[in-house]
Amino acid sequence: MEAMGVAVALGLLLLTAGGSTGDAAREAAAVRELLVRLLGPGPAAAFSVSVERSLATKSGLDTYRLSGGGAGARVQVLGSTGVAAAAGLHRYLRDFCGCHVAWSGSQLRLPQPLPAVPEELTEATPNRYRYYQNVCTQSYSFLWWDWARWEQEIDWMALNGINLALAWSGQEAIWQRVYLALGLTQTEIDEYFTGPAFLAWGRMGNLHTWSGPLPPSWHLKQLYLQHRILDRMRSFGMIPVLPAFAGHVPKALTRVFPQVNVTQMGSWGHFNCSYSCSFLLAPEDPLFPLVGSLFLRELTKEFGTDHIYGADTFNEMQPPSSEPSYLAAATAAVYQAMTAVDPDAVWLLQGWLFQNQPEFWGPAQVAAVLGAVPRGRLLVLDLFAESQPVYVRTASFQGQPFIWCMLHNFGGNHGLFGALESVNQGPATARRFPNSTLVGTGMAPEGIGQNEVVYALMAELGWRKDPVADLGAWVTSFAARRYGVSHGDAEAAWRLLLRSVYNCSGEECRGHNHSPLVKRPSLHMVTTVWYNRSDVFEAWRLLLAATPTLASSPAFRYDLVDVTRQAVQELVSLYYEEMRTAYLKKELVPLMRAGGILAYELLPALDQVLASDCHFLLGSWLEQARLAAVSETEAHFYEQNSRYQLTLWGPEGNILDYANKQLAGLVADYYAPRWRLFAETLAESLVQGVPFQQHQFDKNAFQLEQTFVLGTRRYPSQPEGDTVDLVKKLFLKYYPRAGFF
């Protein structure tokens, strides 16, 4: 049983935070419009959607009810909120029609007539919140989105039953007003903000200045987008989380207010103090509440509010003091600046800090932060709970409510990866924890648009009390819905992927692609993986065997490209090992053979396969950047921001290849030239009898990397070539190598 205090605290949170107070008719209308966007007006007319608050459970939990369908009858979708109705609709499409809503291509062939719901089906979510996003998702994935793309994503969110999400666009425009009002000059503000591709880290105080300034048109566009995003999210009854002041200020504030008490933080992410070491306002300085409330007042005047605010003061940054009294004061100051403007404020905190720097965050430090905000007013995201849950070692965040989040992805990397068993069990285990204060489940990936199966499972868990009983059966039906046909080979391929790449457990599960393919080569690269590579090759073979039946499915072609990509990534490790062995044995011919295949045949062939699918094009990512601009100068600037993020990340490769992606164009012009340089340098070293010098190689590699970043070559934003033909060619040539794993 829950402790009394906790129950009261959670009740407080449920009462104050948004959702159930809006207009039910408006939410039903929003879901009807979603239906038309998803299925078209004809098929949408076969559904009847309504929203009734009274459908919620006694404790106020979102509920949907399905009924009707069959010959001549409309399918009735009833929800306690718009989000609940959308989730019910998705459930019907998924479980009764065998449909699949996906980033990589939806499968929406409806049976005719629409299947009947034999018995009225009512489902309630087990918890108050289903959360979505990470502060970093805004930079790694949403960066250049226009309204059309946002609209798709908000539809996806609604269908997946998400009712709590960050809405952080446009905040720099508001900050600019605040800083101008405080007396900073436009130049000082321009010097402070990062460029568009690095705003996430500007917002968390990790970075400033780097790759800025933001053009005036950026602010205008983001304000416009934010209004539309908020309006749409609210129309479904979702709660948008707005940003709040966390304590970081521009250095120029000390020019305007020479007496202000600020502390300069340490550097972050191998950036020097020209770009990091931000200034933190002392919690007891009178400017703290002033700046914080100026910002929140201006923000909520512009956008309204649903009373939940996100702020991260010490994300990946060592606080200036480990004294609990200091940490409590720094935390209380953030909360008080919120409540000064909005007495109902609830603070959403990314719990990443506790798990990222466990050596700093001992029990006393954690307790200081958690105890500085009244119970029920600090909503903690246990951000990486599928791997390193924090609730278990903090007595369920000491009574503060928390959301069990799956992080899954770092840097928006490609690479098949998932810890599905752990994700499947995690939320139920957290609910059973003694005195658990779990109030929701969530997805907090740094980047989206990959490994869709993992997100499908997590979204489903937001509406299940218990784990999926048989993941093998679950993934089999996932494959059938995804392709719209049950195909034995394709389903077998998915079961192999499930037991290998998607069944990571233990220390290696960090969702970061460390394949040598996407890393700067050295003689010490790690090639071990947590799965049996033969499973990937067998899945590859099985998918190819299914092509005659499934080639017309966009999601199938996507998977064929993606699994081919994965197989190539395994092959790169194999040829790299051969190169290294040959080099160490001083055998020139095998070295040149392996290096030649890797850099001159395999990677170019991968680039061609990637070029055949619209989801794997550097060209479309860069085109999105250019389309966000209003002048050629701006287009060039945005493109360069993007190229930096994908590769060097900072001026000197400060977080080199963190956000690596396997995109056509990037493989051919960035990863392949680096591997050619490595193969040639090793061969040269054997020929000359001079040992390989990593330091010198790094310098030369940097030149190549920088040349790519500063380059202006335009890449196709439309796919070219036939995926199936290209994959077959690659398969025939390289599948026999599978025997060497």
Q: Which residues make up the interface to ligand NAG (CB under 6 A)?
A: 3, 261, 272-274, 282-284, 326, 395, 421, 434-435, 471-472, 498-499, 503, 505, 532, 534, 651-652
Residue 391 near residue 397, CB atoms below 8 Å: yes
> Rounded to an integer, what distance in angstroms lies between the CA atom of residue 391 and that of residue 739?
44
Instruction: Output the smallest distance, CB 333 to ligand NAG, in A.
Output: 9
How many C-beta neighbours within 10 Å does residue 148 have?
A: 7
Instruction: Output the smallest distance, CB 254 to ligand NAG, in A.
Output: 13
Residue 374 near residue 347, CB atoms below 8 Å: no
Instruction: Output the smallest distance, CB 691 to ligand NAG, in A.
Output: 29
Burial 430-449 (b: 16+ CB within 10 A, else e): beeeeebbbbbbbbbbbbbb
Instruction: Output the smallest distance, CB 741 to ligand NAG, in A.
Output: 7
Instruction: Output the smallest distance, CB 503 to ligand NAG, in A.
Output: 4
User: Which of 41, 434 has the CB closer to ligand NAG?
Assistant: 434
Hey, is 296 helix, strand or coil? helix
User: Which of 187, 435 has the CB closer to ligand NAG?
Assistant: 435
Instruction: Output the smallest distance, CB 141 to ligand NAG, in A.
Output: 26
User: Which of 121, 395 has the CB closer to ligand NAG?
Assistant: 395
C-alpha separations of 707 from 85, 489, 497, 701 in Å: 51, 44, 37, 10
> Rounded to an integer, what distance in angstroms lies between the CA atom of residue 301 and that of residue 12?
25
User: Which of 146, 652 has the CB closer to ligand NAG?
Assistant: 652
Numbers of helices and strands, H then E, in the chain: 30, 15
> Rounded to an integer, what distance in angstroms lies between the CA atom of residue 266 and that of residue 485?
55
> Rounded to an integer, what distance in angstroms lies between the CA atom of residue 564 and that of residue 64?
40
Instruction: Output the smallest distance, CB 286 to ligand NAG, in A.
Output: 11
Could you tell me how many residues make up the chain?
741
Give the single-character DSSP code of 56.
Answer: S
Instruction: Output the smallest distance, CB 479 to ligand NAG, in A.
Output: 14
Instruction: Output the smallest distance, CB 640 to ligand NAG, in A.
Output: 15
> Rounded to an integer, what distance in angstroms lies between the CA atom of residue 5 and that of residue 315?
29
End-to-end CA distance of the chain: 51
Angle, to 10 degrees, between the axis of helix 420-432 and the axis of helix 471-483?
120
Residue 355 near residue 313, CB atoms below 8 Å: no
Instruction: Output the smallest distance, CB 393 to ligand NAG, in A.
Output: 12
Going by C-beta distance under 8 Å and a sequence separation of 6 or more, which residues neighbour residue 18?
239, 306, 307, 308
Hey, is 120 helix, strand or coil? coil
Residue 462 near residue 161, CB atoms below 8 Å: yes
160: closest CA among 96, 89, 105, 242?
Answer: 89
User: Which of 57, 272 has the CB closer to ligand NAG?
Assistant: 272
> Rounded to an integer, what distance in angstroms lies between the CA atom of residue 342 and that of residue 300?
9
Instruction: Output the smallest distance, CB 545 to ligand NAG, in A.
Output: 17
Instruction: Output the smallest distance, CB 202 to ligand NAG, in A.
Output: 17
Element spanning 309, H or E: strand 308-310
Instruction: Output the smallest distance, CB 421 to ligand NAG, in A.
Output: 5
Instruction: Output the smallest distance, CB 326 to ligand NAG, in A.
Output: 6
627-631: long-range contacts, CB 8 A cutoff, minimum separation 24: 627/144, 627/146, 628/144, 628/146, 628/196, 628/218, 628/221, 629/217, 630/215, 630/217
Instruction: Output the smallest distance, CB 525 to ligand NAG, in A.
Output: 20
Following DSSP, what letter does each residue of 200-254 receive, concatenated? HHHHTTS--STT-PPPHHHHHHHHHHHHHHHHHHHHTT-EEEEE---SEE-TTHH
Instruction: Output the smallest distance, CB 654 to ligand NAG, in A.
Output: 8
The number of angstroms, rounded, from the C-alpha of 515 to the middle of its chain's C-alpha atoms is 20
50: closest CA among 20, 22, 86, 19?
Answer: 86
Sheet holding 262-264, edge to edge: 248-249, 279-281, 262-264
Residue 439 near residue 10, CB atoms below 8 Å: yes
Q: Among the residues of 471-553, which ranges form H helices?
A: 471-483, 488-499, 533-550
Q: Which two tokens stand for residue 259?
A: 């007496």
Instruction: Output the smallest distance, CB 587 to ligand NAG, in A.
Output: 27
User: 213: cis peptide before it, omega within 30°?
Assistant: yes
130: closest CA among 465, 464, 462?
Answer: 462
User: Which of 520, 661 has the CB closer to ligand NAG?
Assistant: 520
Q: Among the residues of 597-693, which ranges form H helices?
A: 603-611, 618-627, 632-646, 666, 672-688
User: Which of 179, 210 has the CB closer to ligand NAG?
Assistant: 210
Instruction: Output the smallest distance, CB 495 to ligand NAG, in A.
Output: 8
> Backbone dihedral region of 183: left (phi > 0), alpha (psi from -120 to 50 degrees) or beta?
left
